[in-house]
Amino acid sequence: MRLLWIEARDFRNHTETALEVPPGLTAVVGPNAQGKTNLLEAIFYLCSLESPRVRADLPLVRAGATSAFLRGEVESAAGRVLLEVEVRASGQNRVQVNRSPVRRKRDVRRQARAVFSGPDDLAIVAGEPEDRRRFLDESVRGLWPLKESLMTAYERTLRQRNRLLKDWEGAGAPAGLEGWDAELVATGSALTQARAEASERVAPLASEEFATLSGDTTETLVVSYRPSVERAEATERTEAAEGTKIEDAFRERLRERRADEIVRRTTLVGPHRDDLGLSVQGLQARGFASHGEGWGAALCLRIALAAAVRDEIGEPPVTLLDDPFSALDPERRRRVAASLDGRGQLLIAVPDDAQIPPEATVWRVKEGRVAPD
């Protein structure tokens, strides 16, 4: 899969940018605050309809403009797809695929696959469980865009159940709680299973990437999904058997925590309390890994996700790495740079020529203008 060309108008500091995107590795080079990260963000937004840097769309629209516009064409084994997005400072965005309007993000994401890595990813390793849950859900969406509805369904159920618990003033359990229990078990079990499957795809690949980064097979990164509800061992490794066992365990955990939930007036069991275990050299990465090790682990997780998507769909996604070498020592920079070739279409943003891989096409960025070398 590759992006053939992109146009960005009034997106961040890109007033008018139009580029043909080459296959293989491209280095986007420029000092800070010139627009190289904004360009990678624009590509990712075109493919996913969300920014990897901010939650709201308002900051994406150039100051003084009412909308930003992104257009581009993606080529995959299934053919070519034209994507067009109007990002509005206020109101509903407009999105078209092959000139036809679409409303759901997954209708774009299943046509154009992209993976973005940036400095904020350090939070996956050093941040809170919420940051790691977000990565798990991004992995699920990246691998199976149609499963995005699992997160939406669970979050809606969780909000309603928490509202019922919070507003309850009587003795015993609130009326209607059993109904929300059933809904929580159904939606939560499906999300737990999807996260477990995504983790199983990404974990071994991340370990391999970390070994390549370190140059030492004894320097290990171990990735393990830590669900709020543990799956019982299945006698038959089928999706139906796994789902049933998760649901049984979920119901049992809810029964165990019923009294605590009524006292605390919130849901204490479910995927919203999951975590992702990350350890380097046998020690928990959060709190024990150095800054360089932490960033290396975060970078390897994203590169591994791109590899997992490649294995799932049969071709690599568009991969975008923002400042990937910043926290790495020179030898690790060299190893990462040497490993980037042959991964499909990959764009990296770097601040100076010293960080340009020798085989890369080079784009120079200055004040929101991009010029191929």
Instruction: For residues 248 and 250, give the distance between their C-alpha atoms in angstroms, rounded to a whole number.
Output: 5
Instruction: Supply the angle between the helices 177-214 and 239-264 in degrees, to the nearest 10.
Output: 110
Q: What is the reported pLDDT for 239?
A: 52
Q: Please count the other Cβ atoms lying within 10 Å of the Cβ belonging to residue 327.
A: 19
Residue 66 lies in a domain: yes
Task: Write out the two tokens for 340.
Answer: 């980037």
3-state secondary structure of 344: coil
Instruction: Supply the angle between the helices 330-339 and 291-313 in degrees, to the nearest 10.
Output: 0
Residues facing residue 87 across a β-bridge: 68
Q: What's the mean per-residue pLDDT of the chain?
A: 94
Give DSSP secondary structure letters for 306-334.
Answer: HHHHHHHHSSPPEEEEESTTTTS-HHHHH
Instruction: Supply the angle between the helices 177-214 and 330-339 in degrees, to the nearest 10.
Output: 110
Residue 345 lies in a domain: yes
Q: Domain total for the chain? A: 1
CB-based contacts of 192: which residues, under 8 Å, 6+ apart?
Answer: 227, 228, 229, 231, 246, 250, 271, 274
Task: Note whether 4 and 80 are within 8 A (CB).
Answer: yes
Instruction: For residues 304 and 293, give the distance between their C-alpha atoms in angstroms, rounded to a whole number.
Output: 16
CATH code for position 12: 3.40.50.300
Q: Give pLDDT tens digits for 153-178.
A: 999 999 999 999 999 887 778 889 99
Q: How far does CA 65 lie from the centroid of its chain?
A: 29
Q: What is the reported pLDDT for 218?
A: 72
Residue 346 lies in a domain: yes
3-state secondary structure of 296: helix
Our CA dihedral for 155, 159, 164, 168, rounded to 10 degrees, sits at: 130
Residue 204 lies in a domain: no
Q: Give pLDDT tens digits for 21-72.
A: 999 999 999 999 999 999 999 999 999 999 999 999 999 999 999 999 999 9
pTM, to two decimals: 0.93
Task: Note whether 117 and 302 are within 8 A (CB).
Answer: yes
Residue 350 lies in a domain: yes
In the predicted model, residues of the chain with pLDDT beneath 70 are 231-244
Q: What is the reported pLDDT for 235?
A: 39
Instruction: For residues 271 and 298, give the distance between their C-alpha atoms in angstroms, rounded to a whole number.
Output: 22
The domain of 69 spans: 1-113+317-373
Q: Give pLDDT tens digits for 234-249.
A: 434 455 555 568 999 9
Q: How far does CA 333 lie from the centroid of its chain?
A: 23
